[in-house]
Amino acid sequence: MDTTTDTLHPYAGRPVDLPDLAAGPDVAELTAILLDAYSVSDWETPLADAVEQALCALPRLETTRIGDCVVARTDLGLPQRVILAGHLDTVPLPTVEGARGTVPSAWDGDVLYGRGAVDMKSGVAVQLALAGLVGAEDGPAPAYDVTWVFYDHEEVDAMRSGLARVVREASELLEAEFAVLLEPTDGVVEGGCNGTNRYRVTFRGVAAHSGRAWRGHNAIHDAGQLLTALTDYAPATITVEGLEYREGLNAIRVTGGVAGNVIPDACTVEVNYRFAPDKTLEQAHAHVREVFEAAGVDWDGQVEVTDASPAARPGLDRSAAASFVAAVGGEPKPKYGWTDVARFSELGVPAVNFGPGDALLAHTDDEHVGRGQVHACLQALRAWLLAG
């Protein structure tokens, strides 16, 4: 990711001062403090430093730092362990002049504007508030041992993810019966997630002067049959454990051509497949291969897999998941986008998405969250952790 222009932002690299978590700071005001911490991907270190310092001050927590990922755990000898996870980074700031969803944050009545308001610093604020509650020396006894994970580089290439780093280097820190990822869901449980694969399909032609087009071969025209197949493709809706997941297969980028008077000798079409959690990665690739080959594409000669992220089954039949749904209420929904619940699923830890804020506001120029939404999420998770 190119962050050259972001280095000029006055908040980039600025130290972050978090309040004493054991003192029970207001979770909405804590969200505002987090929003004021510039943490566009690659710039998470000051916020990770502050989170580590705040968690190390809580006597009932054992804190570990792996890069810019901070993991804190209780060790109370309870029969079950749960995970609360969230990422510290945000996408780059809005570029539209006058946009309110930027850094620093701004209140408009009980609505808080700022980059990361829903994705996902309000969720991180809830995590920190719960850590302060349970981790304090005189804190209440939770129904589960708890692991908190605050990780970096979620908004960029998957291989750079701080959570993936923990999986590679210290996966034992992520052992648990159940996990909650505090991505924005408007306070509704979203089970599992769709998988997402990306493919680059290359078409080769022969360059020629466009005034003598018959001497060349137009690579862009060759892409037409694939684009027609994608236009005609009927995506499926698939029920998994009672939740309906909607799939999608779409061209997301087309590139080709070098000049206005040259027949293009190359064209690439990038395709994204969002697939339901009834499929493994291999089954998803097989389905896309079938579609491509029917459109005349040579899978082995023209197709490159550029990203492959597995889906995650809901796991709502597990006891810890069932108790969570019962505690927070509402009717669970499927997660159409990909989230890191898939990483937990690969580790054998069923996971759901549950957090404050409307996911449709994520990455927008007016990203915002309501004070009441953040408080409601905290209250729901607090009741679950303390009641069991």
CATH number of the domain residue 238 falls in:
3.30.70.360
Residues 188 and 217 in one domain: no
Residues 181 and 202 in one domain: no
Total tally of structural domains belonging to the chain: 2
Active site (annotated) includes residue 154: yes
Residues 44, 68, 145, 154: which is the catalytic one?
154
Residue with tokens 């994520």: 362
pLDDT digit of tens for each residue in the chain (388 aa)?
A: 344 444 579 999 999 999 999 999 999 999 999 999 999 999 999 999 999 999 999 999 999 999 999 999 999 999 999 999 999 999 999 988 889 999 999 999 999 999 999 999 999 999 999 999 999 999 999 999 999 999 999 999 888 999 999 999 999 999 999 999 999 999 999 999 999 999 999 999 999 999 999 999 999 999 999 999 999 999 999 999 899 999 999 999 999 999 999 999 999 999 999 999 999 999 999 999 999 999 999 999 999 999 998 999 888 877 778 889 988 888 999 998 889 999 998 899 989 999 999 999 999 999 999 999 999 999 999 999 998 5
Residues 62 and 119 in one domain: yes
Residues 89, 186, 190, 358: which is the catalytic one?
89
Structural domain boundaries, residue 73:
5-192+312-387
Residues 35 and 181 in one domain: yes
Residues 300 and 327 in one domain: no
User: Do 268 and 256 meet the contact criterion of CB atoms below 8 Å apart?
Assistant: yes
Q: What are the residues whose beta carbons fall under 8 Å from the beta carbon of 248, sequence distance 6 or more?
A: 235, 272, 273, 274
pTM score of the predicted model: 0.86
Residues 164 and 292 in one domain: no
Pairing relationship of beta strands 190-191 and 351-353 according to DSSP bridges: antiparallel
Q: What are the residues whose beta carbons fall under 8 Å from the beta carbon of 193, sequence distance 6 or more?
A: 277, 311, 312, 335, 336, 337, 338, 339, 341, 342, 353
Active site (annotated) includes residue 89: yes
Examine the fold and report which residue of 309, 331, 361 is the final residue of a domain before the chain moves on. Answer: 309
